[in-house]
Amino acid sequence: MSAPIVSVVVPALNAARFLAEALASIVRQRYEPLEIVVIDDGSSDGTAEVARTFHGRPVVIEQPNRGPAAARNRGIAAAKGELIAFLDADDLWPDGKLALQVPRLTEDALLDVILGRIRYVALDDRTLEGIRFDEPGGVLTNVNLGAGVFRRSVFDRVGLFDESLRFSEDQDWFLRARESGVGIAVLGEVTLCYRLHAGNMTRGKSGRELALTSVLKRSLDRRRAAVRKADSLPHWSTLRDRSEKPQ
């Protein structure tokens, strides 16, 4: 059986400083067949030109600024792959991510999403103070699209990202996915390097500014209205991949 096409959607806004490194981390996966789709969401710093001149020759789509949800949705619509992955333009994938995650996803028909853990790296002399990590080295089990690989079909089941949300659209999608009973597993390995810097969109934002409270309330309202009337979802730690051997 031939390997499935993986389409990597990279939303980018004024990311010329970081984009080439992000794209290089995708190419270093040495996975084939691979497609990279960069969505330039209204940049003014030459982001699209960085993407067009990158040796991996990604597909580049430019649009007026509409936010990360709209950029990811545009990327999904343009993607050709059976599997979809995401990487923000200022983050990196560790080597071997796709070699680890793609087989785990394709070999288990009950899985629609395979995630991993996240390593936080501070740039621009930023510190990691105030973040409670699972272990030394800045590793954390958390929700981030860039840590996962997704079956394309899961977006038909759950829907796309809510374009009315400028923040927390990823949290909203994962809540809807879990409410829908989507098969999700979290690997113990690091599958995303999240880079903290002064330009992070969510840096210094309050929960209210990030619309997180609203997203959580909408989820709770949906669950209360459901037949099962479940008021809570299991903690993310319960989604640890059961196929992994004990350390």
In the numeric block, the tokens 């374009």 are attached to 163
C-alpha to C-alpha distances, 105 to 79, 188, 217, nearest whole angstrom: 19, 15, 31
Structural domain tally of the chain? 1
Q: Are 5 and 35 spatial neighbours (Cβ–Cβ below 8 Å)?
A: yes
Note whether residue 159 is domain-resident. Answer: yes
* 10-residue averages of pLDDT along the chain (247 residues): 94 96 97 97 97 93 97 98 97 97 96 94 69 63 90 98 92 94 94 82 57 85 74 68 53
DSSP state of 54: S
Note whether residue 216 is domain-resident. Answer: yes
Note whether residue 183 is domain-resident. Answer: yes
At 29 the pLDDT is: 97
Q: Which domain holds residue 133?
A: 6-239
Note whether residue 215 is domain-resident. Answer: yes
* Nearest by Cα to 145 from 210, 213, 84: 84
Note whether residue 12 is domain-resident. Answer: yes
Backbone angles phi, psi at 171, to 5 degrees: -60, -45
Note whether residue 246 is domain-resident. Answer: no
At 151 the pLDDT is: 98
Note whether residue 245 is domain-resident. Answer: no
Q: Write the CATH number for 50.
A: 3.90.550.10
In the numeric block, the tokens 């333009």 are attached to 89
